[in-house]
Structure 1
Amino acid sequence: MIKKISLFLLGLVLSSAYAPSVLAQADSTAQTSVTVITVKGAIGPTTTNYIRRGLETARERGDEVLIIELDTPGGLLNSTQDIVQEMLASEMPIAVYVTPSGGNAGSAGTFITLAAHVAAMAPTTTIGAASPVSMGGQPQDTVMQKKIFNYSESFIENIAKERDRNTEWAKSAVRDGAAITETEALELNVIDFISQDLNELLVQMDGLVFEGDTLQTAKASINKEGETFAEQFFSFIMRPEIMLILTMVAIYGIVGEVTNPGAIVPGVAGVIALILLLYGSATMPINVAGFVLIGLAIVLFLIEAFTPTFGILITGGAVSFFLGALMLFQEFPKNMQLDWYWLVPATIMTAIFFGWIATSGIKAQFTGNRTGLESLIGKKAKVVDDINEEGGRILISGEYWNAVTEGEEIESNEWCEIVRFEGLTVTVKPYTPNKEFDHGVN
């Protein structure tokens, strides 16, 4: 018995001594993971939401690092500021990987790359050209543009200092629009690694220390986090050409419903397009003067329907619409501005719509009925039999109708004026011959 107790106690001692080494080995072989998101195209509000959501997802999973695969020609300065602020404040390491080969971290992409904890580029990629002229889409010849220029230079300098990168080159990317290859970026301390692919980047980051934590990424599993349907949809509608189409649909739909009451479909489509347009306008740098000019164009088109000027107002409206659509997206970056091959067809279509379809519909709403019994109201007719409050007959378009008066009797062979139809009976009154237009119906 004593021997068994001794063996049991010895086992406890040995297991307690061996347990820490077992736990340490298990912890060292624990599976780690990283989250990867892909940002491709112009930087805008939906990009900010996408990166923010990717960062929150990576935190919830307990990932080692968030990796942003980046390929962008640039984007909006406001969205870039939001993204950079989010990255600088992040306690989780963020890596930006400019990829694929031939990709670019231009303009806004330069700010985002420099703000990363780890910056890497694939072979044959470029970075730079971050001057405000490419981010704002306008020449630097105004006081406001100079302010934006100076702010951008100091902004990128602070980012480079925060991440211990080459501040002189960063300022030159804004001041001179400098752009460099991945090899030059590595030599100038703009990036940390040149990576053939994502797996090589994971190996290169393995062992790096951030905030006292060592990254274990060499064998980490990769969690791809794509854009949601909502992010893809709103990113799509915020493209300038789509916003121009929404503007046209809103105008055509609402005007079409007004000129053809009860059609429903044009009105619903117009209202939906208007709501989406207002949403886009609230998040994008839309030029208000552009909306004013488009509104003026609509007014000129509508006036043409009532006061024909042989196309003068239609032409003026077309010019106003063209200039308004051109100014509408003036504040967008150069790569996001609207091309003329969108503006010219849109202007022509709008002029045709108002000059023909809308004008005809508007005129129809303010003219009398031309078909049916309602078109006969106000016309004169021949009295066949004496008419009083009890009855009588008249001749209308070769047909005999029962008729009554509202008071005064009308004798046969005289003329009467049609007041209204009630079933098969016509209410009439004595005809007054001093009318500008005198049309009979018999």
Structure 2
Amino acid sequence: MKKTLTLILLTIFLFTITLTTSSYSKNVLIVKIDGIINIATEELINEAVNLATTSNFEAIVILIDTPGGMMDSTFKIVNTIENSKIPVIGYVYPVGGKAWSAGTIILMSCHIAAMSPGSVIGSCQPVSFNPLGGSEPINDTKIINALTTYLIERARMHSRNETAARSFVEKNLNLGAEDALRNGVVELIASSIDELLKAVNGVQVHTISGDVKLNTENAQIVSFTPGLRVNILKIICEPTIAYLLLLLGLYALIFGFATPGYGGEAVGAILIVLGLIGLGLLSVNILSLILIGLGAILLVAELVTPGFGIIGSGGIFCIIIGTLLLMSGPMLVTSEWLTTFYTMGVSIAAVLGGFMLFAAYKVLKARRAKPVIGVMIGDEAVAIDDIGPGSYGFVRYHGEYWKAKANQNVKKGQKVLIKDKDGPILVVEPLKE
């Protein structure tokens, strides 16, 4: 009895120790930003910060490796970081990674900014796309001054180099890890996450809830796994996929109206909505939509008019030009990436447009073809079987075997005349020579 009681008390004690140790364990959440910054990235950071807050993590480390992205999404990510009660560490990683444009703005908004050896930051001047001249830096003083002041304030909040912040936007300054550390743009350089957490241990930062002293040495690293919503957004927000969804939806809509009853209208509408969400088009240039809509109307007209080529080509042209104008607003990406994206976009539009015209040609050819049934009636065939009145047999017509019936006796090998067609069955009679 005493042994049993002792065992129970020992179990309770060990369980209590386990709970206490667990409640005081140090966890650091790792979340990765790679690729283009868009709506999916915005949701990713929002989910990660919410998890870290509710689970009382010691810190959040954002691994940044990006060429840039959408300006609106960047500002929303910065807002999420600045309103986080949990310290956020921005870390340009892996070794040799980059945080260009929007990535630099996100890094400068973090409570601690760090870089890996060989990594690069900078090039924050926004760019737009000119259909006649390719990607172009935006020199509008209203936009440049606003973005410059915005980045300078982020630098001032964290006691970082304000001159460099200005040059990131106005001169497209780029800095490697060593130069960034030497010029007071980042706080440290680390080759690995473990080295980073050891270096920031004991550092005091100011969050929205007050001063926080980091306790990250030997902390348990937890990699953030995004939910289904973020994963879906990540797929449809990939610029090429989003653009493809938009075009496929447009063509599905056209076929849906041209050949009703197959659900093409519904599929097209869904794909168009997904494409617009993926492209982040909360506000869209009206002229672009008018051009795209006109292109769709011209392609529909191509399907129903006797002419071929000119109307459809005009529709494809309108869609391509409308697409080029569709995303003409400022973006925080490199000009090379934007040029590549638009080149791919125009190529996809041209290829899909070619398929559309080919399909339209086939549809028109089928519609204008002489009815097969009308041609069969009055033609000759050859009996393969003996066919008596009220019985069935087979006849050969243009090399094909057809089931047939007759009201008169037909001998095998005899030529017959096709008088009618009853569903799939031919009605024949002996050919009188």
TM-score by length of 2: 0.72
Instruction: Summarize deviations over 1:123-159 as a string: whole Å, max 9, x none.
Output: 1001111112389954335xxx321111000000111
1:125 equivalent to 2:127? Answer no
Instruction: Tell me the residue number matched to 1:297.
Output: 295
Instruction: Summarize deviations over 1:218-274 as a string: whole Å, max 9, x none.
Output: 01111110333331321221233212211222123223233333334x455323312
Residues 43 and 75 in structure 1, CA contact (< 8 A), matched pair in contact too = yes
Instruction: Tell me the residue number matched to 1:358.
Output: 360
Q: 1:225 to 1:178 in 2, by over 3 A?
A: same
Matched position secondary structure for 2:137: coil
Letter in 2 for 1:275: V
Residues 34 and 222 in structure 1, CA contact (< 8 A), matched pair in contact too = yes
1:167 equivalent to 2:162? Answer yes
Residues 321 and 347 in structure 1, CA contact (< 8 A), matched pair in contact too = no
Instruction: Tell me the residue number matched to 2:51.
Output: 57
Instruction: Tell me the residue number matched to 2:189.
Output: 194
Q: 1:232 to 1:30 in 2, by over 3 A?
A: closer
Q: 1:71 to 1:399 in 2, by over 3 A?
A: closer
Deviates more, 1:191-200 or 1:282-291: 282-291
TM-superposed CA distance for 1:108, in Å, is 0.7
Instruction: Tell me the residue number matched to 1:440.
Output: none
1:324 to 307, 322, 325: 322
Deviates more, 1:229-238 or 1:199-208: 229-238
Q: Distance in 2 between matches of 1:101 and 1:200?
A: 13
Matched position secondary structure for 2:127: helix
Residues 238 and 278 in structure 2, CA contact (< 8 A), matched pair in contact too = no
Instruction: Tell me the residue number matched to 2:82.
Output: 88
Residues 39 and 233 in structure 2, CA contact (< 8 A), matched pair in contact too = no
Q: Distance in 1 between matches of 2:189 and 2:83?
A: 25
Deviates more, 1:206-215 or 1:179-188: 206-215
1:343 to 330, 341, 346: 346
1:48 equivalent to 2:42? Answer yes
Matched position secondary structure for 2:32: strand
TM-superposed CA distance for 1:78, in Å, is 1.1
Q: 1:229 to 1:362 in 2, by over 3 A?
A: farther
Instruction: Tell me the residue number matched to 1:77.
Output: 71
Q: Distance in 2 between matches of 1:29 and 1:229?
A: 29
Matched position secondary structure for 1:322: helix
Q: Distance in 1 between matches of 2:157 and 2:199?
A: 22
TM-superposed CA distance for 1:369, in Å, is 9.8
Instruction: Tell me the residue number matched to 2:235.
Output: 236
Gaps spanning 5+ residues in structure 2: where?
1-16, 378-416, 422-433
What is the correspondence of 1:193-342 to structure 2 with a 5 Å cutoff? 193-210=188-205, 211-264=210-263, 266-280=264-278, 283=281, 286-309=284-307, 311-331=309-329, 332=331, 333=333, 334=335, 335-336=337-338, 338-342=341-345
1:183 equivalent to 2:166? Answer no
Q: Distance in 2 between matches of 1:121 and 1:282?
A: 29
Instruction: Tell me the residue number matched to 1:11.
Output: none
Instruction: Summarize deviations over 1:261-308 as a string: whole Å, max 9, x none.
Output: 3334x4553233123124335556654433322221222223334444
Instruction: Tell me the residue number matched to 2:105.
Output: 111
Pick 1 or 2: higher relative contact order, CA cutoff 8 A, min separation 6: 2
What is the correspondence of 1:378-417 to structure 2 with a 5 Å cutoff? 399=419
Q: 1:98 to 1:284 in 2, by over 3 A?
A: farther
What is the correspondence of 1:13-52 to structure 2 with a 5 Å cutoff? 30-52=24-46
Instruction: Tell me the residue number matched to 2:93.
Output: 99
Q: 1:321 to 1:237 in 2, by over 3 A?
A: same
TM-score by length of 1: 0.71
Q: Distance in 1 between matches of 2:129 and 2:364?
A: 44
Matched position secondary structure for 2:143: helix
Residues 71 and 103 in structure 1, CA contact (< 8 A), matched pair in contact too = yes
Q: Distance in 1 between matches of 2:160 and 2:72?
A: 23
Instruction: Tell me the residue number matched to 1:429.
Output: none
Residues 110 and 127 in structure 1, CA contact (< 8 A), matched pair in contact too = yes
Instruction: Summarize deviations over 1:73-129 as a string: whole Å, max 9, x none.
Output: 111111111111222222221101110011011101111111111111111001111
Matched position secondary structure for 1:96: strand
Matched position secondary structure for 1:36: strand
Q: 1:345 to 1:275 in 2, by over 3 A?
A: closer
Q: 1:336 to 1:284 in 2, by over 3 A?
A: farther
TM-superposed CA distance for 1:48, in Å, is 1.2
TM-superposed CA distance for 1:341, in Å, is 4.1
Q: 1:221 to 1:296 in 2, by over 3 A?
A: same
TM-superposed CA distance for 1:310, in Å, is 5.3
Q: State the identity %.
A: 27
Instruction: Tell me the residue number matched to 1:422.
Output: none
Residues 303 and 363 in structure 2, CA contact (< 8 A), matched pair in contact too = no
Gaps spanning 5+ residues in structure 1: where?
1-22, 377-396, 402-442
Larger-gyration structure (1/2): 1
Matched position secondary structure for 2:160: coil
Matched position secondary structure for 1:105: strand
What is the correspondence of 1:143-162 to structure 2 with a 5 Å cutoff? 145-162=140-157
TM-superposed CA distance for 1:64, in Å, is 1.0
Letter in 2 for 1:300: L
Instruction: Summarize deviations over 1:294-345 as a string: whole Å, max 9, x none.
Output: 2212222233344445532233223222212222233354424524244235
Q: 1:294 to 1:224 in 2, by over 3 A?
A: same
Q: 1:363 to 1:193 in 2, by over 3 A?
A: same
Q: Distance in 1 between matches of 2:219 and 2:292?
A: 54
Residues 34 and 217 in structure 1, CA contact (< 8 A), matched pair in contact too = yes
